[in-house]
Amino acid sequence: MLKNSDIVAAHERIRSGVARTTCPQSFALEARADGRFYLKTEFRQRTGSFKDRGSLNKLQRLGPTAREGGVVAASAGNHAQALAYHASRLGIACTIVMPTHAPLIKIAHTRGYGARVIQTGETLSDGMALVDRLAREEGLTPVHAFDDLDVMAGQGTIGLEILEQVPDLTTVIVPVGGGGMISGIATVVKAQRPNVRVIGVEAAASPGARESLAAGKPVRLENSNTLADGIAVKRIGDLTFPHLATLVDDIVLIDEEQITRAIFFLLESEKFVVEGGGAVSVAAVLEGKVELGSSDVTVCILSGGNIDMNLVSRVIDRALWADGRLARLAVVVRDRPGYLSEVTALVAIEGANVLHIEHTRLRGYLRGEGGDRTHDRDARPRPYRDDCGQVPRTRAPGGRAGLTRP
Return the active site residues: 51, 303
Alpha-carbon dihedral of residues 150, 154, 155, 158, nearest 10 degrees? 150
Phi (first) and psi of residue 323, to 5 degrees: -90, 0
Cα gap 306→296, rounded to integer Å: 30
Read out DSSP for 43-99? Answer: GGSTTSBTHHHHHHHHHHT--HHHHHH-EEEE-SSHHHHHHHHHHHHHT--EEEEE-
Q: How many helices (H) and strands (E) does the chain have?
A: 16, 15
Phi (first) and psi of residue 239, to 5 degrees: -80, -35
Q: For 176-249, where are the E strands, in sequence order?
A: 197-203
Q: Name every residue whose Cβ is closer than 8 Å to that of residue 92 and which is 6 or more positions away in sequence.
A: 59, 62, 67, 70, 71
**Among positive and negative, which fits the CA dihedral 58, 63, 64, 65?**
negative
What is the Rg, in whole angstroms, of the alpha carbon atoms belonging to the chain?
24
Cα gap 392→163, rounded to integer Å: 58
Among 331, 301, 312, 338, CA closest to 50: 301
Q: Name every residue whose Cβ is closer than 8 Å to that of residue 112 and which is 6 or more positions away in sequence.
A: none
